[in-house]
Chains A and B, each alone.
Chain A
Amino acid sequence: MRERQLRARDMLRGDLEGEELERYVEEKVVMTNFEKMLGWARSNSIFPLTFGLACCAIEAPISIVTARYDLARFGAEALRASPRQADMIILSGRVSIKMAPVVRRLYDQMLEPKWAISMGACSSSGGMFSNYAVVQGADKFMPIDLHIPGCPPRPEAVLYGFTKLQRKIQGNPDQGWRARYRAEGSEEWARGGPRSAPSGEAAEAYSAARELLRA
């Protein structure tokens, strides 16, 4: 600590030379590229939209801005009411068929870059309500960046998802189970996806298995 103070004093006086100067500069200066800096700035100053649909709305956005689960420590305390001024929408609650066009319009009104978090089971996949009145997943009409499971998810779970979104914005998405089980590239995609059509032997194996199941 004392050594640092002495070095700082020398720096200011212009007394630091050569190798010491190099080391000092390396410690104090961060080299990065513009995208990373932009990602860091954007992720730490998200303006969420005050948008709550149903039960999850009591947990977020109302409960996560309160003192115990403080969203302000992630820089996102400025909740904006107008979609033009917000850059993140948290779909908290079930999206009914009457509300879906409204949500889409709100999402369209937001300016780029924008992110959407689908919070809870109901907006991720229709939740427990598999019926005529609920859209089975907000994926059906708008792009979602992050899904948070739960019914309703705990505020801590929402904040955990929020940190994952921050990593995604910084360009460094968390690989999750792919990293844990060393399973990159082994995902099965139902529709589309980079390896959606298994080829050759894999396709034959799958169709053989399906025939067996049907028989």
Chain B
Amino acid sequence: MPDAPGLELIRGEIEAEHPGAVLDTGFSQERAVLSIDPAHVLAVLSLLRDAPGQGYRFLSSLHAADYLPAEPRFAVHYELLNRDRVERIRVKALLDDPAANGNEKALPEIDSCVEMFPTAEFQEREVFDFFGIVFNGHPDLRRILMPEDYVGWPQRRDFPVGGEPVTFTYNEKNYG
């Protein structure tokens, strides 16, 4: 994994071209993490992929997490892999929840990286299906795992798990 000086060098490279993109760097369990501003996500990803020293050309996984009640609420994680040096780096794009500011139906938005990494097609659809994060520029953004007409974003923390309680005598309503 890129170690601390390596990570700072990467941050420096990115800051040189796109100031303000990188919000934070960190290490979590020996994995280098770059927290970035979602507006610059395509720039950062393309730099990590194409810049001669970097070469993180394989997107292992694209997933999101809901950090409620922490702010910013959502983060889209890009797990990048450099297969030549066998190194991983994680890019976190932190997103705020626009529904918290009053507009109930607003959904967080971020640019889609399908053109750079075609593997993201299904994965971005899954993130949209479960969190309601809209990817601008995705060719076919619709629900992938839930039924097409489902209402609600299941994987958000405030969505109930659902299911039925186990019925015993004391809570079975139409018993007897």
Give me the interface of A with B, judged by CB distance under 8 Å: 97-98, 126, 129-134, 136, 190-191, 196-198, 203, 206, 210, 213-214
Contact = CB atoms under 8 A, between A and B. Distances in A.
A213 B163 CA distance: 25
B164 A132 contact: no
A190 B172 contact: yes
A131 B159 CA distance: 11
B28 interface: no
Interface residues of B, number: 17
> Which label, helix, strand, loop or mixed, suits the secondary structure of the A interface?
loop
> Which label, helix, strand, loop or mixed, suits the secondary structure of the B interface?
loop
B169 A132 contact: no
A134 B166 CA distance: 15
B55 interface: no
Interface in B16-54: none
Interface string B151-167: 00010000111111011
A197 B176 contact: yes
A132 B176 contact: no
Interface of B: 146-147, 154, 159-164, 166-167, 169-170, 172, 174-176
B163 A132 contact: yes
Contact of A126 (B161, B164, B167, B169): B164
A209 B117 CA distance: 64
A155 B154 CA distance: 35
A133 B167 contact: no
Of the listed residues B154, B162, B164, B176, the one surrounded by the most CB atoms of chain A closer than 10 A to its CB is B176
A132 B170 contact: no
20 contacts: A126-B163, A129-B163, A130-B161, A130-B162, A130-B164, A130-B166, A131-B162, A132-B159, A132-B161, A133-B154, A133-B162, A134-B163, A190-B174, A196-B176, A197-B176, A198-B176, A203-B176, A210-B169, A213-B169, A213-B170
B172 A130 contact: no
A54 to B, nearest CB: 14
Contact of A191 (B147, B159, B161, B174): B174
Contacts of B175: 190
Nearest to A198: B176
